């Protein structure tokens, strides 16, 4: 891991340690001195990588305050920290409810149920030594998670639609979102009858313009007073409550949490049927009731007014995270999300995704949930985009999630245009989700081999993957075109080009693969001199490289990583005419104009020696864009695609632009540093050294601030390299 990332991980862990109370983690010092509901879920996800025992303690501390009816409260108050926040237990008066837990001080509302997702992460990320304790934790927490979900469907979904309502903006987690203006606006406040209260949030040095207004707080207090007057009896609250909303964020989290709950049930040998039924019901209801086709987004539904709340915020994209959107809805969502309203891919002057449409007149880049970027929402959106295959946009979000805390500090939220951190500093879920991002994408599991197995592999016979294939009846002059059509058919059926993934299992058993394998037999008598023109040659060799790697992974039964097979890129080949070509021969001998392979002390010379006839096929000069088209079967490679001779220049440009603007290239102007994929280190000479790399980045980077940084700080900036993830792009 680069020094900069390592330092940032240290800062994130230090924040979580400083905010640890001995029982749970407060969201931030100062303004938030207690334990918050969904904060603890996100915090547990981050801790699950480095301190699973504390992640478990975080969730069990929260659930020790679970109400008898199954509700998990929004806040669990620390008795030793009272007097610094409003509203506190004396205002909530939760003890009026017979369901309130004895001896525990809580609020009387809940929040989006991220907890099953967090519990699933605790088990998934637990190392071998912690797996037994993690399973024991799941056994303890599962009945409580089940009770929480049952509460939401029993008490908050009286019509059985599959959509739980919220009865206070604070339950949404996005407290002063413009979505709530309409429902809150119909509440008429009689200040003479409103309980007396004193705001405490403005006494912590927070700019009042960044917080909810006094009028908003009057309405918040009105609702709390309504709840406590009715003893938190849901059936009594419901007919009188002016704020009953089916929120797409809350219900999308619920849908995803049901999937996690079903997974946990399976791990424990319990039936997953009930969580799966809940998940399907909620996903269907979101898809059918909350979708707004004209706006291309999901809207909240106002149960009191019995109609949609047509206000577009980032919450409307969260059904991607919950798996609720149909493919057609997902495509429309992506088009809306990937626009200037919410900071388009490669727009270059903004951070994704702001919480509110930036083109609205009431968009406010400084005010809480009315414009800024929030880490937790973007973390969920990135997962949702990946779920539906929109990996380039997910990667853009991931890049911003990485650089915002490093560049501007671990704040509560950020300016969507200049990145300034706002709200509370040293914010726990920002630190925790940063850790999850780094651990998931930048500290990949690695598999390697010592010198002995590598030497043995080099001395082993090279396997001809097209040996024994008949080639069919395709004339030699048509073979290149037929191979291209076959490769394109494989791509259309089994390559997910948006996600950069390959379905190797289905591919290996397919008719398309059998057809391709047969055609490779024709290569054994193919005359490479039939390839005419640089573009045709470039497309032929790039496609052949990518497909021989896929062929090798299928043929050798690779399951997790290409590193399972020592020297894989030298141990398989295709015979083409009288010559054999391994992936290394194609990459380093042909496409890199016959240079020495990097990363190897075993091959100190050029790929093709002085007497090697294959030198005649080397393509000169080297086009460094090939490094973003060649697919090595690993997650850190470029996304897989099929290349066409007529469009190869445009396709290579697009591949380079996508890679340079992905999370494999992160510019940190404030730190005077660049974090780059190791591809740039391994192939530095292809780019023309350090200066050439910076020139290349300048040509393709979208962000104008980064372009300025590269232009004016190139001589003094420091370059560090990100770990390469060799896990299979399955």
Give the active site residues. 175, 412
DSSP-based three-state secondary structure for 658: helix
Residue 609 neighbours by CB under 8 Å, 6+ apart: none
Q: Walk across the sheet containing 718-722 and list its strands.
A: 665-668, 673-677, 718-722
Alpha carbons 251 and 322: distance in angstroms, whole number: 8
Largest CA distance in the chain: 97
> 582 vs 332, 336, 567, 575, CA distance in Å?
43, 44, 11, 9
Exposure on the CB side of residue 100, measured as CA atoms within 13 A: 22
Give CA separation, 155 vs 166, 623, 664, in Å: 11, 63, 46
d(CA 11, CA 161): 45
Q: At what angle do helices 648-660 and 689-700 cross, to 10 degrees?
A: 100
Q: Calculate the CA dihedral of residues 217, 222, 228, 232 and round it to 10 degrees.
A: -90
Helix (H, G, I), strand (E, B) or coil at 387: helix
Indicate the SS3 state at residue 12.
Answer: helix
CA distance 510 to 8: 46
**Helix residue spans in 530-683 (DSSP H):** 534-555, 568-571, 583-584, 648-660, 678-682
Q: How far apart are CA 503 and CA 62, in angstroms?
A: 40
Distance CA 454, CA 473 (A): 39
Q: Which of 39, 98, 42 is nearest to 71 (CA)?
A: 98
The alpha carbon of residue 424 and the mean position of all alpha carbons in its chain are separated, in whole angstroms, by: 24
Q: Is cis: bond before 87, omega within 30 of 0?
A: yes
Q: For 423, how many CA atoms within 13 A lie in the half-sphere containing its CB?
A: 25
The CA distance from 382 to 596, in Å, is 38
φ, ψ dihedrals at 126, nearest 5°: -65, 130
Distances in Å between the Cα of 601 and the Cα atoms of 454, 455, 527, 598, 604 are 11, 11, 34, 8, 6
Whole-number Å distance between alpha carbons of 698 and 710:
7
In this structure, is the dihedral angle defined by the CA atoms of residues 603, 605, 608 and 611, taken in order, positive or negative?
negative
């Amino acid at each position: 891991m680069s020094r900069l990332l390592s330092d940032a991980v240290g800062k994130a862990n230090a924040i979580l340690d400083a905010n640890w109370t001995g029982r749970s983690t407060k969201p931030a010092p100062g303004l938030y001195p207690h334990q918050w509901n969904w904060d603890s879920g996100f915090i547990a996800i981050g801790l699950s990588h480095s301190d699973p025992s504390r992640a478990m303690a975080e969730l069990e501390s929260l659930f020790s305050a679970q109400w008898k009816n199954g509700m998990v409260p929004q806040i669990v108050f620390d008795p030793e920290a009272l007097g610094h926040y409003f509203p506190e237990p004396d205002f909530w008066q939760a003890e009026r409810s017979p369901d309130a837990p004895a001896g525990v001080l809580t609020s009387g509302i809940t929040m989006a149920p991220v907890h099953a997702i967090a519990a699933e992460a605790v088990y998934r990320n637990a190392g071998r030594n912690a797996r037994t304790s993690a399973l024991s934790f799941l056994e303890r927490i599962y009945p409580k998670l089940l009770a929480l979900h049952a509460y939401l469907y029993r008490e908050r979904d009286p019509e059985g639609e599959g959509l739980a309502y919220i009865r206070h903006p604070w339950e949404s987690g996005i407290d002063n979102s413009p979505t709530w203006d309409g429902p809150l606006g119909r509440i008429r406040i009689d200040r003479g009858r409103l309980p007396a209260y004193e705001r405490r949030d403005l006494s912590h040095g927070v700019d009042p313009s960044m917080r909810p207004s006094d009028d908003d707080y009057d309405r918040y207090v009105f609702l709390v007073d309504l709840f406590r007057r009715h003893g938190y009896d849901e059936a009594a609250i419901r007919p009188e409550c002016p704020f009953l909303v089916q929120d797409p964020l809350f219900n999308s989290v619920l849908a995803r949490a049901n999937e996690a709950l079903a997974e946990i049930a399976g791990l424990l040998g319990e039936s997953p049927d009930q969580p799966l039924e809940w998940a399907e019901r909620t996903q269907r209801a979101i898809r059918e009731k909350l979708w707004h086709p004209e706006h291309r987004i999901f809207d909240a539904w106002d149960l009191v007014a019995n109609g949609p709340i047509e206000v577009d915020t980032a919450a409307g994209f969260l059904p991607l995270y919950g798996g609720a959107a149909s493919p057609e809805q997902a495509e429309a969502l992506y088009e809306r999300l990937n626009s200037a309203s919410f900071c388009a891919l490669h727009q270059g002057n903004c951070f994704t995704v702001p919480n509110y449409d930036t083109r609205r007149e009431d968009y406010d880049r400084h005010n809480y949930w009315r414009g800024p970027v929030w880490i937790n929402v973007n973390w969920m959106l990135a997962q949702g985009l990946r779920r539906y295959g929109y990996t380039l946009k997910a990667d853009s979000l991931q890049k911003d999630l990485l650089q915002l805390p490093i560049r501007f500090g671990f704040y509560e939220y950020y300016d969507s245009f200049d990145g300034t951190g706002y709200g509370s500093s040293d914010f726990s879920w920002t630190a925790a989700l940063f850790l999850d991002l780094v651990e998931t994408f930048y500290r990949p599991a690695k598999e390697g081999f010592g010198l002995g197995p590598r030497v043995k592999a080099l001395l082993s016979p090279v396997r001809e993957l097209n040996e024994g294939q008949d080639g069919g009846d395709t004339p030699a002059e048509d073979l290149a075109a037929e191979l291209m059509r076959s490769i394109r058919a494989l791509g259309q059926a089994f390559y997910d080009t948006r996600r950069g993934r390959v379905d190797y299992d289905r591919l290996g058993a397919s008719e398309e693969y059998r057809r391709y394998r047969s055609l490779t037999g024709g290569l054994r008598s193919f005359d490479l001199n039939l390839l005419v023109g640089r573009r045709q040659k470039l497309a032929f060799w790039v496609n052949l490289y990518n497909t021989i790697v896929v062929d090798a992974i299928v043929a050798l039964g690779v399951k997790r990583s290409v590193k399972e097979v020592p020297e894989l890129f030298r141990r398989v080949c295709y015979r083409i005419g009288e010559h054999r070509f391994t992936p290394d021969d194609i990459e380093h001998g042909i496409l890199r104009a016959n240079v020495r392979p990097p990363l190897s002390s075993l091959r100190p010379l050029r790929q093709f020696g002085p007497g090697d006839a294959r030198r005649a096929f080397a393509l000169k000069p080297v086009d460094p864009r090939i490094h973003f088209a060649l697919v090595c079967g690993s997650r850190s490679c470029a996304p897989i695609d099929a290349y066409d001779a007529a469009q190869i220049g445009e396709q290579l440009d697009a591949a380079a632009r996508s890679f340079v603007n992905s999370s494999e290239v992160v510019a940190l102007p404030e730190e005077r540093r660049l974090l780059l994929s190791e591809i740039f280190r391994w192939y530095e000479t292809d780019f023309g050294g350090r200066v050439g790399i910076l020139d290349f980045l300048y040509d393709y980077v979208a962000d104008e601030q980064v372009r300025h940084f590269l232009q004016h700080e190139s001589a003094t900036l420091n370059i560090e390299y990100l770990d390469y993830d060799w896990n299979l792009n399955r």
